Amino acid sequence: MSNALDITDSTFEAEVLNSSVPVVVDFWAPWCGPCRKLGPVLDEIAEELKDKIKIVKVNTDENLKTAKEYSIIGLPSLLVFKNGQPVERLVGLMPKSSILSNIEKHL
């Protein structure tokens, strides 16, 4: 079971922009191989940092409005939001240690 919450264009504001904790948004698509490899890594991070952050997933094929609004052109793309603002952008498959170090500086 995934520790990341699937969200949509209609739930993005409530789950991300209005969140009281930093949010990592995973922009992905079902056809994206690296996205599928990143999923379990994000689940581990979500479990390890569950009291400090929230991790959500946005399927870019089904939620074009949000993907376009944040200029998502490469998948997978991770955006870290703090206080409703994007503060970090990570594009492509990368090691868990790199993802963690980029997230932790915003906690």
pLDDT score of 3: 77
pLDDT score of 90: 97
Concerning whether 35 is annotated as a catalytic residue, the answer is: yes
pLDDT score of 4: 83
Q: What is the layout of strands, in order, in the sheet containing 77-82?
A: 5-7, 54-59, 23-28, 77-82, 85-91
Question: 24, 35, 46, 55: which is the annotated catalytic residue?
Answer: 35
- Three-state SS for 39-74 is HHHHHHHHHHCCCCCEEEEEECCCCHHHHHHCCCCC
Q: Consecutive 10-residue runs of the chain (107 residues): their mean pLDDT?
A: 85 97 97 96 93 95 97 96 97 96 94
Question: 32, 91, 94, 100: which is the annotated catalytic residue?
Answer: 32
Concerning whether 55 is annotated as a catalytic residue, the answer is: no
